Structure 1
Amino acid sequence: MPADTVRAVLFDLDDTLCAYRRSGDELITTACEAVGVEPFFDGATYEARYGEFTDESEDVADLRERCFAAIAADRGRDPEVGRAIARAFAAERDYGNVRPLAGAREAVESLARRYRVGVVTNGAPGMQRRKLAALPFADRFETVVHAGYDTAAKPAAAPFHEALSTLDASPDRAVHIGNSAASDVAGAHNAGLRSVWLRQPDGPGDHRPHFTIDRMGDLTAPPWE
């Protein structure tokens, strides 16, 4: 893709631009311990099931309870144990306790000088706004789409198209950057965008990104150029 054809760059938020000081896996382990059970699922399992519950949930706390209850049932456990773990998880998580991912500031500021930029994130608007506001480059984004609330959740095409409509860019002139192969890479492809995957230890699975980066700072020299 020649550089002059790119008009817009979209970013995922969680674990792409910012990270909790404690990972989702650590919080699930702590929450299980608080309930008195051995951990029987991890953050990847939660992420994979998240989108199933967005339409029926009142808010992120309700969504997490529904999701954890379903995971518990699938593992042969009482769904109420899953709900208890979800409540303990919420009690442990400090939604304001985020830090920018290494290289994220340099990447965003570099790209914002050359492209129109936005965020497409799965998550409740209030929670995601607090995370974004804690980042020193939040004012660089022209639009933020809260997928699963403003539109269908990623990997649906709708949130990407919603962001691009604000940025006055077509899918074939846009790229999306994210860490989740299942949400970000697949979602970008569903919407007709090129994908940039921030490499994770477990690999991309069946989802093959157009470009792969090892760290956010790599984006100061965009791989599509």
Structure 2
Amino acid sequence: MNEPVEALLFDLDDTICEYCRPGSEILDLAFEDVGIEPVFTADDYYAVFEDHVEDSEDVVENRERCFAALAEEAGHDPDVGLAVADAYEAERDQTNVQWLPGAQEALDTLRERYAVAAVTNGGPKMQRAKMRGLGIDDHFETVVFAGYDVAAKPDPEPFEMALDAVGVGPERAVKVGNSLKNDVAGAHNAGLRSVWIDREGVPNPDPEPHHRIEAMDELLDEPWA
């Protein structure tokens, strides 16, 4: 793989950003935003999460179904649960995200050098809210919501869709992400080079990435060069 790199494909969650408050705190804020006392807890939500997965297109719809059912069970109109779900989404996905160390500098700098795309296993509504919260919704030439637009990572299809959009072949592209299973394996399945963000010092990663970094700002040294 000696071809010069022209495109970088980035993961989003735990690569560029992370949540900064727990779900229980976000739920309390959502009830406060709606103007009612809490009628169910985060543990109640987690307990029924799987009950509505098959009937939901994404995690946002599943949350709405869960909250509506829990509100009704507590003696309230299901619309109360839907209002809380809307407030929860706004708090969690737009105001509750923060940059990971080195990520902002790396993304701001590298988008001037390369074509950049995002390939993320996450629903469009939820992931776009995170990008708006960080102010990066216009930073990528394309965003592929794997598992929604196309198959989920590590299937090669989402990587191929992103590369088609930026007009770069896999031999000239690098995938950057924190997941060995999804990002590294997916990159290799699609014929890309991989850069894995290893914050734990894993001794024998499987699969073996082409390059390993501890923080995003190490990308500025262009380890693939």
TM-score, normalization by structure 1: 0.70
Q: Distance in 2 between matches of 1:56 and 1:206?
A: 34
1:114 CA drift (Å): 1.4
Alignment partners' CA distance in 1, 2:196 and 2:220: 15
RMSD of equivalent CA atoms: 3.4
2: distance between equivalents of 1:138 and 1:91? Answer: 20
Structure 2 counterpart of 1:99, which letter? Answer: Q
Distance 1:218 1:115 in 2: 16
* Structure 1 unpaired stretches of 5+: 40-52, 66-87
Q: Mark the structure with the bigger radius of gyration.
A: 2
Q: Aligned partners of 2:147, 2:125: CA distance in 1, in Å? A: 13
Q: How far, CA to CA, are the matches of 1:138 and 1:124 in structure 2?
A: 15
Shift of 1:137: 3.9
**By how many angstroms is 1:181 displaced?**
0.9
Distance in 2 (CA, whole Å) between partners of 1:64 and 1:182 is 26
Q: 2:191 is matched with which residue?
A: 192
**Deviation string, structure 1 residues 144-169 (Cα, Å, up to 9, x no partner):** 00111111111110100000001001
Question: Is 1:165 equivalent to 2:144 in the alignment?
Answer: no
| TM-score (structure 2 length as normaliser) | 0.70
| Residues 9 and 118, structure 1, Cα contact 8 Å, conserved in 2 | yes
Letter in 1 for 2:43: V
Q: Does 1:131 align with 2:139?
A: no
| SS of match in other structure, 1:5 | coil
Question: 1:56 and 1:187 mapped to 2: Cα distance?
Answer: 28
Give 3-state SS (helix, strand or coil) of 1:120's partner. Answer: strand
Superposed structure 1 runs of 4+ greater than 4 Å apart? 61-65, 90-93
Hey, what does 1:77 align to over in structure 2? Answer: none
Structure 2 regions of 5+ residues with no counterpart? 28-40, 47-52, 65-84
- 3-state SS in 1 of match to 2:134: coil
Matched residue, 1:215:
215
Equivalent AA in structure 1 for residue 216 of structure 2: M
Distance in 2 of aligned mates of 1:201 and 1:63: 32
Instruction: State the partner residue of 1:140.
Output: 139
Helix, strand or coil: the match of 2:110? helix
Distance 2:151 2:175 in 1: 17
Residue range with higher mean Cα deviation, 106-115 or 120-129:
106-115
SS in 2 for 1:94: helix
Residue 60 to residue 166, structure 1, CA distance change in 2 (3 Å): same
Identity, % of aligned pairs? 51
CA deviation after TM superposition for structure 1 residue 201, in Å = 2.1
Count of residues paired in the alignment = 187
CA 59–132 in structure 1, closer or farther in 2 if over 3 Å, else same: same
Rounded to whole Å, the distance in 2 between the matches of 1:8 and 1:56 is: 37
The alpha carbon displacement at 1:101 in A equals 1.3
User: Offset of 1:56 from its aligned partner?
Assistant: 7.6
1:168-216 deviation line (CA, Å, top 9, x unaligned): 0111110000011111111111111111000032737422111000101
Paired amino acid for 2:206: D
